[in-house]
Structure 1
Amino acid sequence: MLSVMASARHDPFARMLNVDLMAVLVAALLPWSTSGVGIGMLVWLAALAATLELRPFLNSLRRPINVLPIALVALAAIGTLWSDTSWGSRLYAVSPATKLLFLPFLLYHFERSTRGLWVFIAFLASCTLMTVASWIVAIEPSLSMKGLGDPATYGIFTKNYIDQSQEFVLCTVVLALPIIISLRDGKIRQALLLMAVAVNFIVNMAFVVVSRTALVTLPVMLVVFAMAHLRWKANVLLSVAAIALGALAWTASPHLQATTERFTRDYRLYKELNEPTSIGLRLEFWEKSLRFFAEAPIIGHGTGSTRGLFEAAATGPAGSAQGQVIGNPHNQTLNVAVQWGMVGVVILYTMWFAHFSLFRGEGLAAWIGLMVVLQNIFSSLFNSHLFDFHEGWMYVLGVGVAGGMVLRAGARRTDSSGMAAR
């Protein structure tokens, strides 16, 4: 790798390879590190600059898949002008959206590159290694980088259980397609290997740690897979098998039972005792956010205004659900609506739709991109995952790399059709 980097100054092939290898490194770091991803993407962008052809890149910016994320970041920047919070808070609130500016560069590069699949293999391998670390720290908690004494760190080597569950769910569902293709092609060993990797993710979530968001999004993603790639008889068998295996896992796993039972327990504690449980706080945040949105429905209250609004609306004791103050309402739509009103919501949903539409075709790249977008949309019902660091970068890398691969495949088909017509 060092020799390739050294020769990149004079070799266009080596320069392209450097950009690809940096993307592979960032994908491998994503489950483990935040600072590594941030630094890695800046280095990736610097490496890309040596290969960028200005006119084709500027032409690519006209596509809606590029215009819309840029528009959302621009709205966040412009929204600082009518916010009434401090300028420090305004600028800080812009930063979660800026990662979307990497999307046009990723789409442009991987439309030219033939190594996009390397990035996803690196992410899968890294997540698989993370399951090993999760099993180890579940057995020996002192080896966790998160410290001891907090039940929320059980089975977590680094990051948190929400981020880890998002990774494992995405890998599990994405693997379903290559497993089916391998079985249809008679590649039994390959199919068994991929099934073993997928089962490893599922078992870890069932018996070590899983987020409630993952419990909601996983079935939705599996239903989409069944509708897109299986016949109705297979869907019936899969549904029966999924219900049976789910019931067996719930019966055998005290952890899974406790996770599902917390849904009703948290709601009851919130309604009866006003305790700030996870579900209770979300309901409180959503109710107040809807009121904030109704006060400024067109352009919102401005970038970074959310915390100040919650401070003004806080009632009751500091430890109660009504007294909680937060800068993130734990819902992507409301996060955007409070700050930038309907203008922001329209841009957000149009962007999601444009990216979803990009992946309606056939092939592994389209399937990966589709699942990345679908997961982000559904998990953003309970969190602001487009703006959160980890899930936001999963979206940017997934859509950028898979989208570039889909665009490249489409260009090849167009060229082939043109040659055939001649």
Structure 2
Amino acid sequence: MTLPALGRAVRFCTYGMMASLPFAVGGVNVFGTLIILLALLSREWWSVFPRLMRNPMVLICIAMLLLVWLGTFRTAGPHQEALNVLNRYHKLLFIPLLIPFFQQLKHRMMALNVLLGALLFNVVISWTEFFGWTHVSDQAYLGTATAPGDSVFHQHITQGLLFCVSMVVGSALAWFEKTRGRKIYYWGAVLLAASNVAWVMVGKTGKAMLPLLALWLLGEWWVSQKREKKRAEAFVHTSPNASLGSVTRSKWMFAGLALLVLGATTWSALTPSTMLGTAFQEVVKSRATGQDNSQGERVEFWHKGLILISHESWLGYGTGSVLTLTRKLAETAQTPVGHLATTNLHDEYLMWAVQFGLPGALIILLFFFVYWRGGKQAGMAGMALRGAVMIFSFGCLYNSFLVDFAEGYSMVLLAGVLLPL
């Protein structure tokens, strides 16, 4: 029996999944289910199956899912919680499922344009909410949003991350676009998202990523300058002294702008009136008085995670064990913030280390390493992957993106669409 060619249908569902990502959980789930069925029934996927089984990222995803599944048999928590965590990590399947269908540039471009368009619509609505022109914010989040536009279709942590994803995608598309009109559109989308994160959003997740994104763009510019100089020297008889002077000027410009970004970030972090400054103030107050506040909770969860790792660092406690273990630690705490327990340590690296020990810590690091290696490919896909891995790997220091819904799907969809076979 010959399997049908279903590549076009898989790509259509992927576009639908990306278009739904900023808005509808139901849309992501429906299109995601269709992708699983169509990909496994398609001739294209099975024809490259042997190559997939040699792909480093595919092997790592399989190993991660196997580790999570095995952890359900030795969990220190309820079996239902273990199955819930396993279900949250199943999104890793989309990386091997999508890679074979997005090896052509036109398909990758289409996917990124769909994602950027959906995210840009979210950004625009956030701005109109901020100015009071519209009132469409999801009622479920109005009680937690402290400013209009901070939480439109998702809570501010998710919205901040998605807006940063739009900056990465828009920058990569703009960088390699030749048409002036489209280039203006892409850079305009980037500026709208960046200014929204900086001035409209109250959440600190996106704000903490802005300096990193600025440094990433500066790095991309500097590397492109060096490549241009080498290309010019190869085809044109350029004076060595002139070439050296040009490279030196680029180096000093890069260093100066990087120092400016770092200086502005340091000032913002040390100024109590800024959002980043309030984060540090909350941590100091919570550690000094035991007060329960947003950033104090995060630090307390990290502290509990490190305690758990120190007691069982080799194999961990099993899948879905975090809530049970943090409850036990909370029982002996002496402060309000210490009495808190959680299912999510707000650090992806700690989540893997606590549940799966040393193998878990190594495999999440390998995941991001291979993600980063995918960024070595030339062109738009490589640049987008480099930007994506920077914000995801950095953001996972203070969030658990693979556990979260929209954040995790944005991570795996970009990998599935952009990684080489």
Is TM (by shorter chain) over 0.5?
yes
**1:150 counterpart = 2:144:** yes
Rounded Cα–Cα distance in structure 2 between residues aligned with 1:33 and 1:20: 19
Q: How much does 1:55 deviate?
A: 4.6
Partner of 2:66: 74
The 5 A counterparts of 1:322-333 are 322-333=338-349
**1:37 counterpart = 2:53:** no
**1:137 counterpart = 2:129:** yes
Q: How much does 1:176 deviate?
A: 3.0
SS at match of 1:360: coil
Q: How much does 1:218 deviate?
A: 2.6
Partner of 2:245: none
Rounded Cα–Cα distance in structure 1 between residues aligned with 2:70 and 2:32: 25
Conserved in 2, the CA contact under 8 Å of 1:226 and 1:235? no
**1:368 counterpart = 2:359:** no
* From 262, 267, 271, the counterpart of 2:287: 271
SS at match of 1:314: helix
Q: How much does 1:296 deviate?
A: 1.2
The 5 A counterparts of 1:22-421 are 22-53=13-44, 54-111=46-103, 114-140=106-132, 142-147=135-140, 148-152=142-146, 154-155=148-149, 156-182=151-177, 187-230=179-222, 231=225, 233-234=249-250, 237=253, 257-315=273-331, 320-403=336-419, 406-407=420-421
Rounded Cα–Cα distance in structure 2 between residues aligned with 1:305 and 1:11: 43
Deviates more, 1:55-64 or 1:122-131: 55-64
Deviates more, 1:260-269 or 1:92-101: 260-269
Cα RMSD (Å) of the superposition? 3.0
Rounded Cα–Cα distance in structure 2 between residues aligned with 1:48 and 1:113: 20
Q: How much does 1:215 deviate?
A: 2.4
Rounded Cα–Cα distance in structure 1 between residues aligned with 2:324 and 2:286: 24
Q: How much does 1:30 deviate?
A: 0.4
Going from structure 1 to structure 2, the CA distance change for 1:332 and 1:60 (only over 3 Å counts) comes to same
Conserved in 2, the CA contact under 8 Å of 1:153 and 1:160? no
Identity within the alignment, %: 22
Rounded Cα–Cα distance in structure 1 between residues aligned with 2:333 and 2:302: 19
Going from structure 1 to structure 2, the CA distance change for 1:235 and 1:277 (only over 3 Å counts) comes to farther
Q: How much does 1:347 deviate?
A: 1.4
Conserved in 2, the CA contact under 8 Å of 1:165 and 1:210? no
Rounded Cα–Cα distance in structure 1 between residues aligned with 2:164 and 2:410: 12
Q: How much does 1:90 deviate?
A: 1.5
Q: How much does 1:226 deviate?
A: 2.0
Rounded Cα–Cα distance in structure 2 between residues aligned with 1:158 and 1:166: 13
> What's the CA shift string for 1:39-60, capped at 9, x where partnerless?
2111122232342342522431
Rounded Cα–Cα distance in structure 1 between residues aligned with 2:174 and 2:94: 31
SS at match of 1:81: coil
Conserved in 1, the CA contact under 8 Å of 2:10 and 2:35? yes
Q: How much does 1:103 deviate?
A: 1.0
Going from structure 1 to structure 2, the CA distance change for 1:151 and 1:101 (only over 3 Å counts) comes to closer
Partner of 2:11: 20
Q: How much does 1:112 deviate?
A: 6.5
Q: How much does 1:190 deviate?
A: 3.6
Q: How much does 1:38 deviate?
A: 1.5
Going from structure 1 to structure 2, the CA distance change for 1:318 and 1:304 (only over 3 Å counts) comes to farther
TM-score scaled by length of structure 1: 0.83
Going from structure 1 to structure 2, the CA distance change for 1:316 and 1:302 (only over 3 Å counts) comes to closer
> What's the CA shift string for 1:19-40, capped at 9, x where partnerless?
2111111111101122211121
Q: How much does 1:225 deviate?
A: 3.0
Going from structure 1 to structure 2, the CA distance change for 1:258 and 1:226 (only over 3 Å counts) comes to closer
Partner of 1:4: none
Rounded Cα–Cα distance in structure 1 between residues aligned with 2:255 and 2:139: 38
**Structure 2: any 5+ residue segments left out of the alignment?**
226-247
Q: How much does 1:245 deviate?
A: 9.3
Q: How much does 1:247 deviate?
A: 9.6
Conserved in 2, the CA contact under 8 Å of 1:146 and 1:158? no
Going from structure 1 to structure 2, the CA distance change for 1:371 and 1:132 (only over 3 Å counts) comes to same
Q: How much does 1:293 deviate?
A: 0.9
Going from structure 1 to structure 2, the CA distance change for 1:354 and 1:206 (only over 3 Å counts) comes to closer
Residue type at the aligned position of 1:30: L
Going from structure 1 to structure 2, the CA distance change for 1:181 and 1:23 (only over 3 Å counts) comes to closer
SS at match of 2:103: helix
SS at match of 1:159: coil
Partner of 1:420: none
> What's the CA shift string for 1:242-268, capped at 9, x where partnerless?
8879999999xxxx9541231232123
Q: How much does 1:380 deviate?
A: 0.2
Q: How much does 1:67 deviate?
A: 0.7
Going from structure 1 to structure 2, the CA distance change for 1:240 and 1:198 (only over 3 Å counts) comes to farther
Partner of 1:414: none
Residue type at the aligned position of 1:128: L
Conserved in 2, the CA contact under 8 Å of 1:152 and 1:161? no
Rounded Cα–Cα distance in structure 2 between residues aligned with 1:59 and 1:237: 44
Conserved in 2, the CA contact under 8 Å of 1:20 and 1:116? no
Q: How much does 1:270 deviate?
A: 0.5
Partner of 2:244: none
